[in-house]
Chains A and B, each alone.
Chain A
Amino acid sequence: MNAPLLEVEDLCVDRGGLRVLDRVTFALHPGETLGVVGPSGSGKSTLARAVLRLLEPSAGRVRFRGRDLLALGEADLRPMRREMQIVLQDPATSLDPRMTVLSILAEPITVHRLARSEDVERRATELLRRVELGPEILHRHPHQLSGGQAQRVALARALAPSPALLIADEAFSAVDVSLQAQMANLLYGLRGSSSLACLFISHDLRFAAVLCERIAVLSRGAIVEIGEAATLVRSPRHEATRALVAAARASEVQGR
Chain B
Amino acid sequence: MAWDFDTHLRTGKQATVLRVRDLTVRIQTAEALVLPVDRVSFDLEHGEALGLIGESGSGKTTVALSLLRLLPPGASVSGRVELAGEDLLASDPARVRRVRGRRIAMVFHDPLAALNPVLTIGTQIAEAVRAHQPLDRRQARAATLELLRSVGLADADAARYPHQLSGGMRQRALIAMALGCQPEILVADEPTSALDPVVQAGILALLRRVREERGLSLLLATHDLGVAAGLCGRIAVLYAGRIVECGETAAVLARPRHPYTLGLLQSLPPPLGSAGGLPLRPIAGQPRGARIAAPPLIMSPTRSDGCRFLGRCPRAREDCAKEEPELAEMDGGQVACFHPVEAP
Contacts and interface: CB of A to CB of B under 8 A. Distances in A.
A247 interface: yes
B283 interface: yes
A8 interface: no
A179 B196 CA distance: 19
Interface in B267-300: 267-273, 277-283, 286-287, 290-294
Interface string A166-190: 0000000000111111101100110
Contacts of A146: 286, 290-292
Chain B: number of interface residues, binned into ranges: 35 or more
A39 B198 contact: yes
B263 interface: yes
Contacts of B167: 40
Contact of A250 (B56, B204, B277): B204
Interface string A214-256: 0000000000000000100110000000011111111111111
B198 A188 contact: no
A245 B292 contact: no
Given A142-B292, A244-B197, A210 B278 contact: yes
Looking at chain B's contact residues, the main secondary structure is: loop
B88 interface: no
Given A177-B267, A189-B279, A211-B278, A145 B197 contact: no
A218 B313 CA distance: 40
Contacts of A149: 286, 292
Contact of A148 (B196, B204, B278, B286): B286
Given A150-B292, A203-B197, A204-B197, A252 B286 contact: no
B54 to A, nearest CB: 9
Contacts of A176: 55-56, 223, 286-287, 290
The 10 closest A-B pairs by CB, nearest first: A251-B226, A181-B282, A255-B254, A247-B197, A210-B277, A181-B267, A206-B269, A176-B55, A181-B280, A203-B196
Given A147-B56, A185-B278, 9 more contacts: A142-B293, A176-B223, A184-B279, A188-B278, A189-B279, A203-B196, A233-B273, A249-B272, A256-B271
